Amino acid sequence: MRFAKAQTPIQLPGEHDTLHYIPLGVGAVIPPWNFPCAIMAGMTLASIVSGNTVILKPSSDSPTIAAKFVELLEECGMPEGVVNFCPGAGASFGDAVVAHPQTRYIAFTGSREVGLHINKAASTQAPGQIWIKRTILEMGGKDAIIVDADADIDSAVEGVAQAAFGFQGQKCSACSRAIVDERVYDKFLQQLKARVEQIKVGDPAENANMGAVINEGSMKTILGYIAQGKKDGRIITGGERATQAGEGYFIQPTVIADIQPKSKLEQEEIFGPVLAVIKARGFDHALEIANDTEFGLTGAVYTNSRDKIDRAIREFHVGNLYINRKCTGAMVGAHPFGGFNMSGTDSKSGGPDYLYLFTQAKVVGEKIV
């Protein structure tokens, strides 16, 4: 294993100096409902291959996949007690696990609000607690795609549509802001409207492109943002419940143009099929708008200018930046995932340093006799 091959930078004369990475202990793994297998399995397996034991508390909206995953681990011979499947409400059971003095770390993926709550709770020393709890947090985003004046508009429209409305926009990486140069703004909106109106809403088992949102509460929240958008901007397409899709929490894919920087729809994560389109005076202004939220998870730039690409690499402050492609679809290994600022601790899951977060380093200097 890579950890076992770690070496100290130098060997002192007369000593044998070694560096060991050892497990942290008992960890709370709290995955989200929107990727109930991939994220849950990634955080759990990172914990156990690093030598830790796990309390696995899946989202109340999607516990079954986690239960089946634990069954598979047991079939593969995982010893009893290494991963403990513990479904429960976040506000009661989840809080208790986070606050417990024997919990050594918390790996969490979810909303900004819950992530900050976990971080605050973990920072409080409980009676009998002898360590500083580690938090590995991946939270929300207000992800933007910049469309420059010299971009391939066809490609940009397709990328924005896929990133905004894939999985009903229920991804922390989803494009919720399209920041478009004023010189191509009207053309972009015209083509985007036609593309989005091709999206079929309904049961994905019947080959619909877009299904329902997760629950009634989420639907009401999203419709509230759409109502605000009708006041602050201009509905290009969508803007209502998708009643034609049948019973369920279906919402039309919604594009709202002329949204102003610093407004509610431009700043707050919606986590639904709603795209705010913002007009930029040029590339400088577009970068300024892109960086003006408290988040920093994913972003993308469509441009044919090498200079602007290089500027985006330097100045677009996100953990995962994509050039001339959509801002969703991070591939493990190729795109280690994690964000800046209120998007989390930039834990870069799928990257070469990820497992170190689940360990602690111990150095041994042994005098040679």
Positions marked active-site: 138, 172
Of the candidates 284, 54, 304, 292, the one whose C-alpha atom is nearest the C-alpha of residue 154 is 304
List residues bridging with 367 in a β-sheet.
15
Of the candidates 231, 166, 229, the one whose C-alpha atom is nearest the C-alpha of residue 196 is 166
Query: Using an 8 Å Cβ cutoff, are 343 and 297 in contact?
Result: yes
Phi first, then psi, for residue 54 (nearest 5°) are: -130, 135
Query: What tokens appear for 291 in the block?
Result: 């960086």
Of the candidates 308, 337, 335, the one whose C-alpha atom is nearest the C-alpha of residue 147 is 308
How far, in Å, CA of 245 to CA of 219, rounded? 14
